[in-house]
């Protein structure tokens, strides 16, 4: 058995693996969310609570982070479980002052 005969099966196997990987890439595409951000809505839409799910900003440790929250009883609320039975509640009241705070002061 020559050297070239040993090398050939490994090349064929490599080609098969690359085909499988490329096929998986085509098969599983990224799904884009239709949830709208606070940046994209008007003040009137925010105050009326028109969007039931909204990407809202919040501050944590001096940094601005975002989360998808649900509209309930005049505010956007999201409960984040943190392990060991603890949870963190992020809430954003739905009023003009809150909208202005994030739009003007924070540049969001």
* pLDDT tier, 34 (very low <50, low <70, confident <90, very high otherwise): confident
Task: For the chain, give every domain's residue range.
Answer: 36-105
Q: Are 49 and 71 in contact (CB under 8 A)?
A: yes
**Per-residue model confidence (pLDDT) at position 23:** 67
Q: Are 88 and 82 in contact (CB under 8 A)?
A: yes
Q: How far apart are CA 19 and CA 92, in angstroms?
A: 48
pTM above 0.75, yes or no: no
Is residue 82 pLDDT above 70, yes or no?
A: yes
Rg (CA), the chain: 25
Mean pLDDT confidence for 28-39: 73
Q: What share of the chain is helix, strand, coil (3-state, %, to 5)?
A: 40, 35, 25
């Amino acid at each position: 058995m020559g050297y070239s005969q040993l090398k050939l099966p490994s090349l064929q196997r490599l080609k098969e693996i690359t085909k499988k990987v490329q096929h998986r890439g085509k098969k599983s595409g990224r799904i884009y969310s239709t949830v709208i951000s606070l940046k994209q809505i008007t003040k009137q839409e925010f105050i009326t609570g028109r969007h039931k799910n909204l990407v809202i900003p919040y501050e944590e440790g001096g940094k601005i982070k975002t989360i998808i929250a649900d509209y309930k009883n005049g505010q956007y609320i999201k409960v984040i479980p943190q392990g060991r039975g603890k949870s963190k509640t992020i809430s954003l009241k739905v009023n003009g002052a809150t909208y202005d705070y994030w739009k003007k002061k924070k540049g969001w």
